Amino acid sequence: MLETVIQGVLLGGLYCLFALGLSMMFGVMRLTNIAQGDLIVTGAYGAIALAPLCGNNPVLVALVLIPLAMLLGYGLQVGVLNRTLGRNPLPSLVVTFGLSIILQNLLLELFSADPRAFELEGLNTRSLTLPGDVAVGVLPLVILGMALFCTGSMQFMFDRTALGRAFRAVSDDKEVAALMGLNAHRIYGIATGLAFGLIALAGVFQSLRTTVSPADGPMLLLFAFEAVIIGGMGSFWGTLLGALVLGITQQVGFLFDPGWGVWFGHLIFLLVLVVKPNGLFPKTKG
């Protein structure tokens, strides 16, 4: 059981990276990005395509891919998504759903339906042995460490920096923020740029951890959405904890049957919705 919990925590680190960008966009703009999973897959394919040009160095790949993704996110928000924001969430849902379809078909045309991965000299098979003869993968440990770093950095930015205060101001009341000199549309663009940077990072790690195919997006979106809802809206730490709960639950399911892991995750998601609709760790005011 100890090994199951450890593996669940490591899996939860990956789910956290999937979910942080979604949490960011919803927290600032109340926008649910239906294309989240497909954007992660696009980031993964971007990493695979850049790998030969960067000497198969994942750090260099990330340093190239993340700024490009941030620029794309800023441009998409300012040029398209800002026009869909309002009291009615349907326009933004329709636009991001359309983006999801476009990305899936574009990836099929460019890379075919064959699964691909970022091969890195057996990194997926390297492991460390912990006390008690528990083996953990080096790559999952790196992913968990990055998830903790990104979560802490995003929460610190929101709580302690001027940009974070601007994010919270336009999220709470866009009109009042405008009276104080804040350009809400520009702030939204910066938020989406940061979210796309997190999405690109998640895509790099997904391509390193396993194979990806153009049809993987909806499943990754579901994992990200479940992590955010289980954790509770409004807190990056809540997103991390929700992702860990989801990862551990899935690993417990795998103990019973290889086909039950994802199903157990869906069950805990539905249970949380019934018992605590605001999530297990909702943001508290004060």
pLDDT of residue 150: 96
Query: b/e per residue, 16-51, with b = 16+ CB within 10 A?
Result: bbbbbbbbbbbbbbebbbbbbbbbbbbbbbbbbbbb
Note the pLDDT tens digit of each residue in 15-26.
Answer: 999 999 999 998
Q: Please name the helix (run of DSSP H) or strand (run of DSSP E) that holds residue 271, with its range, or none.
A: helix 261-275
What's residue 37's pLDDT? Answer: 95
User: How far, CA to CA in Å, does 169 sit from each of 2, 130, 155, 254, 258?
Assistant: 43, 45, 15, 43, 46
Give CA–CA dist 81/31, Å, rounded.
9
Q: Which domains does the chain have, with CATH numbers?
A: 2-275 (1.10.3470)
- For the stretch 116-125, pLDDT in tens is 988 877 677 7
Query: What is the model's pLDDT at position 244?
Result: 95
**What is the pLDDT averaged over residues 59-88?**
92
User: Residue 146's pLDDT is what?
Assistant: 96
Is 70 exceeded by the pLDDT of residue 28? yes
Place 286 in a pLDDT band, splitting at 50, 70 and 90.
very low
For 157-188, the pLDDT digits (tens) are: 998 999 999 998 998 888 888 878 888 889 99
DSSP 107-164: HHHHH-SS-B----TTGGG-EEEETTTEEEEHHHHHHHHHHHHHHHHHHHHHHHSHHH
- Total-model pTM: 0.92
Task: Answer whether residue 284 shows pLDDT above 70.
Answer: no
Position 31 pLDDT exceeds 50 = yes
What is the per-residue pLDDT for 283? 66
284 or 243, which is more confident: 243
Give the model confidence (pLDDT) of 230-269 as tens digits: 988 768 999 999 999 999 999 998 888 877 888 888 899 9
Residue 27: per-residue pLDDT: 86
Q: What is the mean pLDDT of residues 217-227?
A: 94
